[in-house]
Structure 1
Amino acid sequence: MVPRQRAAGGQAVRPDRDLVIDLARFYCLALVVVGHTMMVSPVLHPDGTVTSVNTLGNQRWFEPVIWVLQVMPLFFVAGGITGLQAWRRLRARGGNAFDFMQARMLRLLRPAAVLLALMFSGLWAARLAGVDPQVVQLLVAGAGMPLWFLAAYLAAQLNLPLLARLHARAPWLTMAGLTSLVVAVDCLRGTVPALAYLNMVFLWCAVQQLGFLLADGGPLALRRPALAGMILGSNLVLGLVVWLGLYSGNMLVNLNPPNLTLLLLGVSQAATLQLFRPVLAGLVSLSRVQAFIAAAGRRSMTVYLWHLPLLAAMSGLLLLTDFPQPAGGTAAWWWGRPLVLLALIGLLLPVLALFGRLEERPTTPASARRPAAAVATAAVAVYVPVADAALNGLTLGLLGGGAACFVLAVLLLGRIPARLVAGSGPGSAGPPLPRPPLSANVEP
């Protein structure tokens, strides 16, 4: 972490952000939003039934493209970098693992709880108004897709204190152990398919561990030829396992539940980030770029959670109108994608104004911590509906139950003691930490 600077009056101010990581996150989020506008394509059939077609995913040329543009591993690499440094800062201020879990869950669950509650209310009202149950279920399934990422990211972050301790003792052994668990699950998933979902934890924790290695230097603090060799080598291994038929070459198919291919992509993307860091650092040194990335980063979770529900709702409502509906994949459909993206951005702006502040962690001056039992119960309350949705699919009833569980979790988590929040006062930061090769973001 960059050592804390002192203002003229001696008061500690926030440490510098790693703007390259901010830029990488923005790139990932923008790519996901743009990609989804080219995937969601509901079709109204003459008999009145409605189906959803993944137009982009059905294009034959898209498979090699998604190999390059599948950026979910990069999300978790960045989360490993920032999460590790956030955990170390918290420990320096006297915090513990449950404090870290409380802060992480509040940041993610507050906006998600409001989204789930509003989605359930709106779709239940649509059902009572006579909208076909099939259409409602289609909207439920489509709008709920972002929740798998929330569950996987939260699982990786909740395990971060434990993994950070293992990393401090034996980084290579920890990485090897997680990789072995990923491979073991992949080997057994054909016999017991439900086991594949264990890699929602093992795989993404392993990719997050790559961020640990990047933050601490490790093998990714290499010279450019070595980094280029890592990129080439990981992609050659990825190509080999696909060529042998062990895995699909479609990285969308490999995404949920995830498998070893995404860890190999993570190695490639982590090395690529380090290889191009000087170029990216030059780009984010521009003041306008910094201002834009900072504004986007403060509301990134709101954008991620809301963009697909808004896109699904907009697409569903258009089916009820006489607005031209070109068939997916046609020239007219492709020409209409920029208009869809602009309309989606227009819908996101008021949502960000209304709900963006939910990403800010509520703090209280009280010094009492939340009991560890309350934090653990909140985690269980979140993962009960999430596991049900992963195994059995998301339904309207489960959406309502999930909203109730998320609200309960937020109530259990309460507010964070101000002394555990960076920058809360002159004496709240604790001793400065040593400077590693990379600085880390100060996450709210």
Structure 2
Amino acid sequence: MTDTLARPLATSAPSRVHRDSSIDAIRVVLLVAVFALHAMMVGVSVGPDGPILQNALEGQAWFGPVSWVVQIMPLFFIAGGFSSYRHWQSMRARGASSSEYVRARLERLVRPAIALVVVVAVALIALAMSGMPADIVATAGFRIGQPLWFLGVYVATSALVPLLVRAHERARVLTPVALLAAVVSVDVVRMATGIEGIGFVNLLLVWLLVQQLGFWLADGGIDRVRRSTLGAVAAGSLAFLAVLTVIGPYDVDMLENLNPPTVCLVVLGIAQLALFQLVRPRLRAVTDGPDASRLVSAVGERAMTVYLWHMPVLIALAGASLVAESTLGVPLPEPLSLEWWATRPIWLTVAAMAVVPVALAMGRFERGPRSSRRPAGRPALALPHGRSTVVD
């Protein structure tokens, strides 16, 4: 197996980016999962001192094991590594420089974020001036801004793709091993000193390592690993994760392992990579049809928009719930009560319906003006019909 992973499939550098329907599909699935998780976290109620906006799932003992399923950021970065590897190979084959690649990535990722920051800043100022309690405004701003951490790290890891692809091509095993050693070292120093700030060095190292796993997927080496081996890797990784969290010093909650990122996310990412590789043929079969392909493309063209704007939409709906309670007497169920759980399907449906028009309206910032989608003097990047990128 070591020899298999040490050697990529023999391929020439592509001059075009050939989309992989399984990658596009899994990113849409992950985006929906993030939206659903954040929607379930919204807890709105009215206490003796006024309205309360809280994370309904925070501090729940049962959520730790559940987080092993809903913590999907490692797979997000793996998929991102796959696409970034293919994209950079294509641009490099056409004579593009690394700076041109980085500029293109920044334009695609940062443009929709600027629109979000401007609109949200104006809205928060308006709320504060309208007399909304300061703690509610602060909580709303904090929750809306949470997804931006991902964007910041994703931009940083994307900017380093040309450098790390070169490292991957020269030492595809040694590079992730070195990154893993660095991640573990940061964890050890953080725990030994008790200085939590040291752990935030892993905010870059962990995600660079997980992105590197996507390079392994992109160069075809993992395609030759037997399914039985993939199953063993997934099971072994999850077993090791159990040792790290149940016996070892790490929190069982994988969301807690985000702040700061720990080696647990790397182990979880390896398990997710193996499981994803097992289901890739099925994903391709499902998404290669014209209807599924159009759906994936429609979401993919606006993926970063959906990611950035789903929290403002959820917070706005939470505010509307409070207004309905105070003006119309519409009761708000206590978070985590039986009534609250019973109303979650309705809440998720309404939230999804509210996100769609926002994504359609704000998606123009992600796609950019037509004239800027193809650099002057460079050939258009040909894509197979019906394929588009998802937070590429």
Query: TM-score by structure 2 length?
Result: 0.88
Matches of 1:56 and 1:257, distance apart in 2: 19
Aligned with residue 197 of structure 1, among 172, 182, 200: 200
1:237 aligns with 2:240: yes
Looking at structure 2, the residues matched to 174 and 135 of structure 1 have their Cα atoms a distance apart, in angstroms, of 46
Alignment of 1:348 with 2:348, yes or no, is no
Pick the aligned partner of 2:52 from 33, 50, 53: 50
Q: Deviations over 1:13-44 (max 9, x none)?
A: x6542100011101100111111111111333
SS of equivalent to 1:131: coil
* Distance (whole Å) between structure 2 residues aligned to residue 362 and residue 417 of structure 1: 12
Deviation at 1:105, TM superposition (A): 1.0
The structural deviation recorded for 1:57 is 4.2
Matching residue's letter, 1:337: R
Tell me what 1:153 maps to: 154
Letter in 2 for 1:286: G
Find the counterpart in structure 2 of residue 331 from structure 1.
Answer: 338
Counterpart of 1:200, as a letter, is L
Letter in 2 for 1:143: I
Counterpart code for 2:31: L
Using the alignment, how far apart are the partners of 2:126 and 2:390 within structure 1?
40
| Match status 1:212 vs 2:215 | yes
Give the unaligned 5+ runs of structure 2. Answer: 1-10
Secondary structure at 2:233's aligned position in 1? helix
- Distance change (3 Å), C-alpha of 1:349 and 1:174: same
Give ranges in structure 1 of 5+ residues lacking alignment.
5-11, 366-414, 430-438
Contact 1:86 1:442 in 2 (8 A): no
Q: Which residue of 1 aligns with 2:112?
A: 111
Q: Distance in 2 between matches of 1:58 and 1:256?
A: 15
Aligned AA (1:236): A
**1:116-265 alignment to 2 at 5 Å?**
116-190=117-191, 191=193, 192-219=195-222, 221-265=224-268
Query: How far apart, CA to CA, are the structure 2 residues paired with 1:342 and 1:247?
Result: 35
Give 2:74's aligned residue: 73
Counterpart of 2:45 in 1: which secondary structure?
strand
- For 1:87-142, what per-residue CA distance to the aligned partner results, in whole angstroms no more than 9, with x for missing partners? 01111121111111111111111111001100000110111121111111010011
Q: CA 1:15/1:159 → structure 2, altered by over 3 Å: closer, same or farther?
A: closer
* Higher mean displacement: 255-264 or 39-48: 39-48
Number of residue pairs aligned between Structure 1 and Structure 2: 373
Native 8 Å contact 1:307 1:348 kept in 2: yes
2:219 and 2:42 mapped to 1: Cα distance? 40
d(CA) in 1 for partners of 2:37 and 2:230?
A: 28
Q: What percent of counterpart residues are identical?
A: 39
Instruction: Tell me how far 1:65 sits from its aligned partner.
Output: 2.0
State the match for 2:37 in structure 1: 35
Deviation at 1:422, TM superposition (A): 4.0
- Checking the alignment, whether the CA contact within 8 Å between 1:102 and 1:416 is kept in structure 2 is no
Cα distance in 2 between the residues matched to 1:420 and 1:162: 23
Query: Which SS does the other structure have where 2:50 is aligned?
Result: coil
TM-score (norm 1): 0.79
One-letter amino acid matched to 1:194: G
